[in-house]
Amino acid sequence: MKKKPPLVRGTEFSDDHRVRLLQGAEELFPALILAMDAALSDIQFETYIFDFTGSGAAVAEALMRAAQRGVRTQLVVDGVGTGALPEAWAGRLQAAGVRYSVYSPLGPLGLLLPHRWRRLHRKLCVVDGHLLFCGGINVLDDFHDPNHGTLDAPRFDFAVRATGSLVAAASDTMDQLWWRMQAVQTMRGARLRRLPEALQALRAASAASHAARLDGAAGPPMRAALVLRDNVRNRSRIEKAYRRAIGTARHEIIIANAYFMPGGKLRRALVLAARRGVRVRLLLQGRYEYFMQYHAARPVYGALLEAGVEIYEYAPSFLHAKVAVIDARGERPWATVGSSNLDPLSLLLAREANVVVEDGAFAADLRQRLVHAMQHAGRRMDPARYAGRPLRQRVLDRIAFGLMRLALWVTGNRY
């Protein structure tokens, strides 16, 4: 029997993957629905936000169709990002046979209890144990925002569709969370109960043809890995993956991040890269969304700008991407797409999942999309203008930064 990747810790790099980049819900949702409609045995789904407005409803309908034809369908949503499902939709999902659960629902004290700050922020879907969707895209229509209404331009975000050995690691970590939430026995025992030998045989017999039907001409295999962050054994794997890649960069670093407040080690890695001649460009949130995330990020810009890092603010719509590409044209291209922001909430508190790909064609594709966004939708930050920003804004920035550090101290984290 083929040995599976180690549980929870994520896979090591291997060369048996095919990974396709998807931009926005406009590209992700049709691929996701196609896979769900072709599912043979089971669908595992986790998301921070599940919003049923617009195209989000089409994803829900696909889940229900799968459950109605006997596919085992499990859905986990976060208790803050989604909260309790709308009553009408909850009834429909339950009637269709979709099994769903809310991760860490808020009690009467809400977020006043520090342990409630540990959220399920990853966005993962595994279909029939061999096809993975992973990224930063919630089940949320590109042109809709729950807090701001209709958007003039689509949200800027990415995901991937992947096959290969990393899918088993994603399935395992989702299973572990599901059965832990269901308060039953260990994951492996539960998995044997839900996947009898006959079903395993069906999956093995159909996996190759099923993957080919969904992926089509997917191109040559790629070197890739799944990198997880949780609060047990994987506390810093995503941040370390970023720091290793930044530390070995020779030519170029491009990072697009919605909520950017890197800790000291990560900031120093970016500064050192810029000082040794690497071109470092950051594409960051340019629209005001939340007080803390917007203002707490500003105080870290000064040292980066002083070192020569280029900062671009994305303004047409909300930037929600959590991606990076390093040395796309070099000998060792590196790219990542996932759910983890470079801020303390993601790097210290939340469950996150990123796919890392070491492939020139994939890195070049992601790089081209990011460069286009910087050139056509990004406003480059002028260091002199940043230094001379109004006193009121600087005060708000410092207040937010201080509150963020205080919150981390309360949770026992240093950043």
Catalytic residues: 121, 123, 128, 320, 322, 327
Residue in the block written with tokens 């594409």:
283
Are 281 and 327 in contact by the 8 Å Cβ rule? The answer is no
What phi and psi, each to the nearest 5 degrees, are found at residue 195?
Answer: -125, 80
- Cβ neighbours of 255 (radius 10 Å): 24
Other residues' Cβ atoms within 10 Å of the Cβ of residue 371: 17
First to last CA, the chain: 43
Rounded Cα gap, residues 26 and 153, in angstroms: 12
